[in-house]
Amino acid sequence: MGDLANHGDAAYQETRRKLGEQEDRAQRIDAFLTADERGNLDRLRRSDVRIEGAQSWHVDDRKFAAKVLAVDEMLSALETKHAAAIDGAFLDRRRSDVRRLNLPIETADIELLASGNVKETGPVIAVRRWRDSGKPLLVMAGPPGTGKTLAAARAVLHGGGKYVAARDVARLFLAQFGEESEQARALTETDGVLVIDDIGREKNHEAMQTGLIELLDYRRRDGRRNIWISNLPRAEFEQRYSDERLLSRIKGSGDWFIEASPDMRARARK
Protein backbone atom coordinates (compact mmCIF):
# COMPACT_ATOMS: atom_id res chain seq x y z
CA MET A 1 0.00 0.00 0.00
CA GLY A 2 1.39 3.40 -0.97
CA ASP A 3 0.84 6.57 1.05
CA LEU A 4 2.19 9.65 -0.71
CA ALA A 5 1.70 13.24 0.42
CA ASN A 6 3.18 15.03 -2.60
CA HIS A 7 0.81 15.58 -5.54
CA GLY A 8 3.83 16.17 -7.76
CA ASP A 9 4.92 12.56 -7.26
CA ALA A 10 5.19 10.75 -10.59
CA ALA A 11 3.18 7.75 -9.41
CA TYR A 12 0.35 9.98 -8.23
CA GLN A 13 0.31 11.88 -11.52
CA GLU A 14 0.26 8.64 -13.52
CA THR A 15 -2.65 7.41 -11.42
CA ARG A 16 -4.57 10.60 -12.12
CA ARG A 17 -3.75 10.37 -15.83
CA LYS A 18 -5.07 6.82 -16.14
CA LEU A 19 -8.24 7.60 -14.25
CA GLY A 20 -8.78 10.75 -16.32
CA GLU A 21 -8.31 8.85 -19.56
CA GLN A 22 -10.89 6.29 -18.52
CA GLU A 23 -13.26 9.07 -17.44
CA ASP A 24 -13.00 10.62 -20.91
CA ARG A 25 -13.70 7.31 -22.61
CA ALA A 26 -16.67 6.62 -20.34
CA GLN A 27 -18.17 10.04 -21.06
CA ARG A 28 -17.83 9.57 -24.82
CA ILE A 29 -19.87 6.36 -24.81
CA ASP A 30 -22.27 7.15 -21.95
CA ALA A 31 -25.17 8.24 -24.19
CA PHE A 32 -25.13 4.88 -25.99
CA LEU A 33 -25.13 2.58 -22.94
CA THR A 34 -28.07 0.73 -21.45
CA ALA A 35 -28.85 1.31 -17.77
CA ASP A 36 -27.30 -2.08 -16.87
CA GLU A 37 -24.13 -1.37 -18.87
CA ARG A 38 -23.75 2.04 -17.27
CA GLY A 39 -24.27 0.62 -13.78
CA ASN A 40 -21.76 -2.20 -14.26
CA LEU A 41 -19.15 0.20 -15.62
CA ASP A 42 -19.67 2.69 -12.77
CA ARG A 43 -19.35 -0.01 -10.10
CA LEU A 44 -16.14 -1.35 -11.60
CA ARG A 45 -14.60 2.10 -12.00
CA ARG A 46 -15.35 3.03 -8.36
CA SER A 47 -13.89 -0.13 -6.85
CA ASP A 48 -10.51 -0.73 -5.19
CA VAL A 49 -9.01 2.76 -5.52
CA ARG A 50 -9.64 5.86 -3.45
CA ILE A 51 -7.96 9.23 -3.86
CA GLU A 52 -8.55 11.18 -0.66
CA GLY A 53 -8.45 14.89 0.04
CA ALA A 54 -5.75 17.31 -0.98
CA GLN A 55 -2.91 15.90 1.11
CA SER A 56 -2.83 12.14 0.72
CA TRP A 57 -3.80 9.31 -1.54
CA HIS A 58 -3.96 5.57 -0.99
CA VAL A 59 -3.76 2.87 -3.61
CA ASP A 60 -2.95 -0.82 -3.55
CA ASP A 61 -0.68 -1.08 -6.59
CA ARG A 62 -1.67 -4.63 -7.52
CA LYS A 63 -5.38 -4.02 -7.10
CA PHE A 64 -5.12 -0.76 -9.01
CA ALA A 65 -3.31 -2.39 -11.96
CA ALA A 66 -5.92 -5.14 -12.09
CA LYS A 67 -8.74 -2.64 -11.87
CA VAL A 68 -7.34 -0.44 -14.64
CA LEU A 69 -6.99 -3.48 -16.89
CA ALA A 70 -10.55 -4.63 -16.13
CA VAL A 71 -11.99 -1.18 -16.80
CA ASP A 72 -10.02 -0.92 -20.05
CA GLU A 73 -11.37 -4.29 -21.16
CA MET A 74 -14.96 -3.31 -20.31
CA LEU A 75 -14.62 0.05 -22.06
CA SER A 76 -13.15 -1.61 -25.15
CA ALA A 77 -15.98 -4.14 -25.25
CA LEU A 78 -18.62 -1.42 -24.93
CA GLU A 79 -16.90 0.76 -27.55
CA THR A 80 -16.88 -2.19 -29.96
CA LYS A 81 -20.50 -3.10 -29.24
CA HIS A 82 -21.75 0.45 -29.83
CA ALA A 83 -19.21 1.39 -32.52
CA ALA A 84 -21.76 2.02 -35.27
CA ALA A 85 -23.82 4.40 -33.12
CA ILE A 86 -20.72 6.14 -31.74
CA ASP A 87 -19.22 6.59 -35.21
CA GLY A 88 -22.52 7.84 -36.59
CA ALA A 89 -22.90 10.40 -33.83
CA PHE A 90 -19.28 11.50 -34.27
CA LEU A 91 -19.80 11.96 -38.02
CA ASP A 92 -22.97 13.96 -37.42
CA ARG A 93 -21.07 16.30 -35.08
CA ARG A 94 -18.23 16.65 -37.55
CA ARG A 95 -20.66 17.41 -40.40
CA SER A 96 -22.17 20.15 -38.24
CA ASP A 97 -18.69 21.50 -37.51
CA VAL A 98 -17.89 21.58 -41.23
CA ARG A 99 -21.17 23.26 -42.16
CA ARG A 100 -20.62 25.95 -39.53
CA LEU A 101 -17.48 26.99 -41.41
CA ASN A 102 -19.68 28.01 -44.39
CA LEU A 103 -17.21 26.64 -46.90
CA PRO A 104 -17.92 26.97 -50.65
CA ILE A 105 -17.65 23.20 -51.15
CA GLU A 106 -19.81 20.37 -52.40
CA THR A 107 -21.57 17.77 -50.24
CA ALA A 108 -19.00 15.12 -51.14
CA ASP A 109 -16.23 17.35 -49.79
CA ILE A 110 -18.18 17.90 -46.56
CA GLU A 111 -18.22 14.11 -46.12
CA LEU A 112 -14.48 13.92 -46.77
CA LEU A 113 -13.75 16.53 -44.11
CA ALA A 114 -16.17 15.00 -41.61
CA SER A 115 -14.75 11.50 -42.02
CA GLY A 116 -11.13 12.63 -42.10
CA ASN A 117 -10.56 10.96 -45.47
CA VAL A 118 -9.01 13.98 -47.19
CA LYS A 119 -6.31 12.77 -49.60
CA GLU A 120 -2.64 13.65 -49.14
CA THR A 121 -2.61 16.36 -51.79
CA GLY A 122 0.07 19.00 -52.19
CA PRO A 123 -1.93 21.57 -50.19
CA VAL A 124 -2.56 19.10 -47.35
CA ILE A 125 1.15 18.34 -47.08
CA ALA A 126 1.99 22.05 -47.31
CA VAL A 127 -0.39 22.93 -44.46
CA ARG A 128 1.02 20.16 -42.25
CA ARG A 129 4.61 21.28 -42.84
CA TRP A 130 3.63 24.90 -42.22
CA ARG A 131 1.93 24.02 -38.93
CA ASP A 132 5.10 22.21 -37.83
CA SER A 133 7.24 25.21 -38.84
CA GLY A 134 5.52 27.58 -36.41
CA LYS A 135 5.42 30.42 -38.94
CA PRO A 136 2.55 32.91 -38.65
CA LEU A 137 1.46 32.81 -42.30
CA LEU A 138 0.94 30.41 -45.19
CA VAL A 139 -0.07 31.76 -48.60
CA MET A 140 -1.48 29.14 -50.98
CA ALA A 141 -1.87 30.20 -54.59
CA GLY A 142 -2.81 28.46 -57.81
CA PRO A 143 -5.78 27.38 -59.92
CA PRO A 144 -9.15 26.53 -58.36
CA GLY A 145 -10.15 23.00 -57.41
CA THR A 146 -6.71 21.80 -56.34
CA GLY A 147 -7.66 21.22 -52.70
CA LYS A 148 -6.41 24.43 -51.09
CA THR A 149 -9.68 25.19 -49.32
CA LEU A 150 -10.08 21.59 -48.11
CA ALA A 151 -6.55 21.56 -46.71
CA ALA A 152 -7.07 24.83 -44.85
CA ALA A 153 -10.49 23.77 -43.55
CA ARG A 154 -8.94 20.55 -42.25
CA ALA A 155 -6.46 22.64 -40.25
CA VAL A 156 -9.31 24.66 -38.72
CA LEU A 157 -11.28 21.52 -37.82
CA HIS A 158 -8.26 19.94 -36.14
CA GLY A 159 -6.87 22.98 -34.37
CA GLY A 160 -9.70 25.49 -34.16
CA GLY A 161 -10.08 28.81 -35.91
CA LYS A 162 -12.29 30.51 -38.48
CA TYR A 163 -12.87 30.49 -42.23
CA VAL A 164 -13.92 33.70 -44.01
CA ALA A 165 -14.18 34.72 -47.67
CA ALA A 166 -12.00 37.59 -48.89
CA ARG A 167 -14.99 39.55 -50.23
CA ASP A 168 -16.47 39.61 -46.70
CA VAL A 169 -13.14 40.56 -45.15
CA ALA A 170 -12.74 43.47 -47.60
CA ARG A 171 -16.20 44.75 -46.67
CA LEU A 172 -15.34 44.57 -42.97
CA PHE A 173 -12.06 46.40 -43.55
CA LEU A 174 -13.99 49.33 -45.09
CA ALA A 175 -16.32 49.66 -42.09
CA GLN A 176 -15.57 52.66 -39.87
CA PHE A 177 -18.02 51.92 -37.06
CA GLY A 178 -20.91 49.70 -36.08
CA GLU A 179 -21.27 45.93 -36.13
CA GLU A 180 -19.06 45.33 -39.16
CA SER A 181 -16.26 47.35 -37.60
CA GLU A 182 -16.53 45.17 -34.49
CA GLN A 183 -16.43 42.04 -36.66
CA ALA A 184 -13.27 43.29 -38.35
CA ARG A 185 -11.68 43.84 -34.94
CA ALA A 186 -12.75 40.36 -33.86
CA LEU A 187 -10.73 38.85 -36.71
CA THR A 188 -7.54 40.05 -35.03
CA GLU A 189 -8.49 38.08 -31.90
CA THR A 190 -9.66 34.85 -33.53
CA ASP A 191 -7.88 31.96 -31.84
CA GLY A 192 -6.50 29.08 -33.87
CA VAL A 193 -6.02 29.48 -37.62
CA LEU A 194 -7.71 32.32 -39.47
CA VAL A 195 -8.31 31.28 -43.09
CA ILE A 196 -9.03 33.98 -45.68
CA ASP A 197 -10.10 32.40 -48.95
CA ASP A 198 -10.43 33.68 -52.51
CA ILE A 199 -8.10 36.64 -52.10
CA GLY A 200 -8.15 38.43 -55.43
CA ARG A 201 -11.90 38.22 -56.04
CA GLU A 202 -12.87 41.08 -53.74
CA LYS A 203 -13.86 44.34 -55.45
CA ASN A 204 -11.71 46.76 -53.46
CA HIS A 205 -8.21 45.30 -53.45
CA GLU A 206 -6.68 48.53 -52.10
CA ALA A 207 -8.73 48.26 -48.90
CA MET A 208 -7.95 44.55 -48.80
CA GLN A 209 -4.22 45.18 -49.08
CA THR A 210 -4.13 47.73 -46.25
CA GLY A 211 -6.38 45.58 -44.09
CA LEU A 212 -4.25 42.47 -44.58
CA ILE A 213 -1.15 44.34 -43.45
CA GLU A 214 -2.82 45.54 -40.24
CA LEU A 215 -4.50 42.19 -39.60
CA LEU A 216 -1.27 40.24 -40.03
CA ASP A 217 0.61 42.67 -37.76
CA TYR A 218 -1.92 42.24 -34.95
CA ARG A 219 -2.16 38.49 -35.27
CA ARG A 220 1.58 37.96 -35.67
CA ARG A 221 2.23 40.05 -32.56
CA ASP A 222 -0.14 37.83 -30.55
CA GLY A 223 1.23 34.56 -31.93
CA ARG A 224 -1.91 33.78 -33.95
CA ARG A 225 -1.68 31.93 -37.24
CA ASN A 226 -3.08 32.62 -40.68
CA ILE A 227 -3.69 30.93 -44.03
CA TRP A 228 -4.39 33.06 -47.11
CA ILE A 229 -5.74 31.38 -50.23
CA SER A 230 -5.87 32.78 -53.76
CA ASN A 231 -6.59 31.36 -57.20
CA LEU A 232 -4.15 33.87 -58.66
CA PRO A 233 -0.69 32.76 -59.77
CA ARG A 234 2.00 34.12 -57.47
CA ALA A 235 3.23 36.71 -60.00
CA GLU A 236 -0.28 38.06 -60.48
CA PHE A 237 -0.89 38.06 -56.72
CA GLU A 238 2.25 40.11 -56.12
CA GLN A 239 1.32 42.47 -58.94
CA ARG A 240 -2.19 43.03 -57.56
CA TYR A 241 -1.00 43.41 -53.97
CA SER A 242 2.20 45.26 -54.69
CA ASP A 243 2.58 47.24 -51.47
CA GLU A 244 6.11 46.52 -50.29
CA ARG A 245 4.92 46.46 -46.68
CA LEU A 246 2.68 43.49 -47.45
CA LEU A 247 5.17 41.65 -49.64
CA SER A 248 7.95 42.08 -47.08
CA ARG A 249 5.71 40.70 -44.32
CA ILE A 250 4.85 37.67 -46.40
CA LYS A 251 8.53 37.12 -47.14
CA GLY A 252 9.60 37.61 -43.54
CA SER A 253 6.98 35.62 -41.69
CA GLY A 254 5.28 33.35 -44.20
CA ASP A 255 5.59 30.39 -46.50
CA TRP A 256 4.36 30.21 -50.07
CA PHE A 257 2.74 27.13 -51.54
CA ILE A 258 2.22 27.30 -55.30
CA GLU A 259 -0.09 24.70 -56.84
CA ALA A 260 0.43 24.42 -60.58
CA SER A 261 -1.69 21.30 -61.14
CA PRO A 262 -4.91 21.53 -63.13
CA ASP A 263 -8.30 21.62 -61.42
CA MET A 264 -8.89 18.29 -59.60
CA ARG A 265 -12.59 18.60 -60.26
CA ALA A 266 -11.97 18.95 -63.98
CA ARG A 267 -9.69 15.90 -63.92
CA ALA A 268 -12.35 13.93 -62.05
CA ARG A 269 -14.92 14.71 -64.75
CA LYS A 270 -12.70 13.37 -67.54
Model pLDDT for residues 43-62, shown as the tens digit of each residue: 888 875 544 443 444 455 66
Asked if 75 and 118 sit in the same domain, the reply is no
Asked if 154 and 260 sit in the same domain, the reply is yes
Q: What is the pLDDT of residue 37?
A: 93
Give the rounded distance of the alpha carbon of 105 from its chain centre.
18
Residue 216: burial class (beta carbons within 10 Å; 0-12, 13-18, 19+)? buried
| Residue 89 within a domain | no
Q: CATH code at 172? A: 3.40.50.300
| Residue 90 within a domain | no
Q: What is the total count of domains within the chain? A: 2
> Taking a C-beta distance cutoff of 8 angstroms, is the pair 157, 91 a contact?
no
Asked if 238 and 145 sit in the same domain, the reply is yes
Asked if 116 and 212 sit in the same domain, the reply is yes
| Residue 86 within a domain | no
Q: What is the pLDDT of residue 48?
A: 55
Asked if 108 and 178 sit in the same domain, the reply is yes
| Residue 91 within a domain | no
| Residue 182 within a domain | yes
| Residue 131 within a domain | yes
Among candidate residues 42, 35, 31, 44, the one with its CA nearest the CA of residue 82: 31
Task: Provide the β-strand partners of residue 66.
Answer: none
Asked if 146 and 69 sit in the same domain, the reply is no
- What average pLDDT does the segment 112-125 reach? 88
Q: What are the tens digits of pLDDT across the range 214-228?
A: 999 999 999 999 999
Q: What is the pLDDT of residue 145?
A: 86
Quick one: pLDDT band at residue 270, thresholds 50, 70, 90?
very low
Bigger pLDDT: 122 vs 13:
122
Long-range contacts of 32-39 (CB under 8 A, 24+ apart): 32/82, 32/85, 32/86, 32/89, 33/78, 33/82, 37/78
Task: Provide the β-strand partners of residue 162.
Answer: 194
**What proportion of the chain, given as a percentage, has pLDDT over 70?**
86
Quick one: pLDDT band at residue 11, thresholds 50, 70, 90?
low
Lowest mean pLDDT among 86-95, 126-135, 239-248: 86-95
* Cβ-based neighbours of 175, under 8 Å, separated by 6 or more: 181, 183, 184
Task: Provide the β-strand partners of residue 229.
Answer: 140
DSSP-derived letter for residue 262 is P
Asked if 68 and 8 sit in the same domain, the reply is yes
Q: What is the pLDDT of residue 96?
A: 92
* CA 156 – CA 163 distance, rounded (Å): 8
Q: What is the pLDDT of residue 3?
A: 42
| Residue 145 within a domain | yes
CA angle 58, 12, 63 (to 5 degrees): 50
Asked if 34 and 138 sit in the same domain, the reply is no
| Residue 16 within a domain | yes
Q: What are the tens digits of pLDDT across the range 129-180?
A: 999 999 999 999 989 888 999 999 999 988 899 999 999 999 898 876 788 8
Asked if 126 and 213 sit in the same domain, the reply is yes
- What average pLDDT does the segment 25-45 reach? 90
Global confidence as pTM: 0.67
**What proportion of the chain, given as a percentage, has pLDDT over 90?**
48
Of 81, 105, 130, which closes a domain? 81
Asked if 52 and 143 sit in the same domain, the reply is no
Domain extent, residue 49, equals 2-81
Quick one: pLDDT band at residue 16, thresholds 50, 70, 90?
confident
How would you list the strands of the sheet with 254-258, edge to edge?
A: 161-165, 193-197, 225-230, 137-141, 254-258
DSSP-derived letter for residue 144 is T
Quick one: pLDDT band at residue 263, thresholds 50, 70, 90?
low
Asked if 189 and 261 sit in the same domain, the reply is yes
Question: SS3 for 61?
Answer: helix
Quick one: pLDDT band at residue 268, thresholds 50, 70, 90?
very low
Asked if 184 and 71 sit in the same domain, the reply is no
